[in-house]
Amino acid sequence: MTKLSFGAHPYLLGFDQLERLVERTAKSGSDAYPPYNIEQRGEDAFRITLAVAGFGDKDLSITLEDRALVIRGRQSEEAGQRLYLHRGIAARAFQRSFVLADGVDVAGAAMENGLLHIDLIRAQPDTVVQTIPIKRP
C-alpha cells in the first residue's frame, strides 16, 4: 500500500501548495527567541506581538516574502562597545517567520514599550456562484 501525500489526496484538488506551506512552516525553526504572542482581535483581524527589548526601530526589519512574514532584528554596533558587568537582556540577532494564508495581509506595525505589534487582516472574499453549462455532442 502506498502512502498518499497530503497534497495528492484525490479529494483535495489544487491544494498541493498547502503541503509546501506546511513544510516551510516546520522548517522555520523552533527557536524561542524572541518570545511572541498571536492574538485574535476580531473575526478577521489578528495581531502578532514580539518582545524585542533593547531593539530600536532601525534595528528591525519586516518583510513579506512569498506569503511568509519575516521579522529580522540586529542591534547596532554601538551596543558592542559597552562593558557589561551582567548582561541579562538578550541582544542577539534573530529571524522569526510566520506563513500567512492567502487573503491575509499586513495592516501595519508599531513599537510600544519594547513590544513590536504587527497587525494582520483577512479580506473576506466575494462569494462566487458559477453555473457550468453542459455541452451536447
Cell numbers that stand for 19 in this block: 503541503
Tell me, yes or no, whether 131 lies in a domain.
no
Tell me, yes or no, whether 34 lies in a domain.
no
Please tell me the distance from the alpha carbon of residue 29 to that of residue 38, in angstroms, as a whole number: 17
Please tell me the distance from the alpha carbon of residue 123 to that of residue 44, in angstroms, as a whole number: 7
- Segment 6-39, tens digit of pLDDT: 555 666 666 666 666 566 655 555 567 889 999 9
pTM attached to this predicted model: 0.68
Task: Give the range of the structural domain holding residue 90, as residue numbers without chain letter.
Answer: 41-124
- Segment 101-126, tens digit of pLDDT: 888 999 999 999 999 999 999 988 77
Plot region of 77 (φ>0 → left; ψ -120 to 50 → alpha; else → beta): alpha
Tell me, yes or no, whether 58 lies in a domain.
yes
Tell me, yes or no, whether 78 lies in a domain.
yes
Please tell me the distance from the alpha carbon of residue 125 to that of residue 56, in angstroms, as a whole number: 37
Tell me, yes or no, whether 36 lies in a domain.
no
- Segment 37-60, tens digit of pLDDT: 999 998 889 999 999 988 888 999
The helix (run of H) or strand (run of E) holding residue 20 is helix 16-27
Tell me, yes or no, whether 10 lies in a domain.
no
CATH number of the domain residue 74 falls in? 2.60.40.790
Number of domains in the chain: 1
Tell me, yes or no, whether 2 lies in a domain.
no
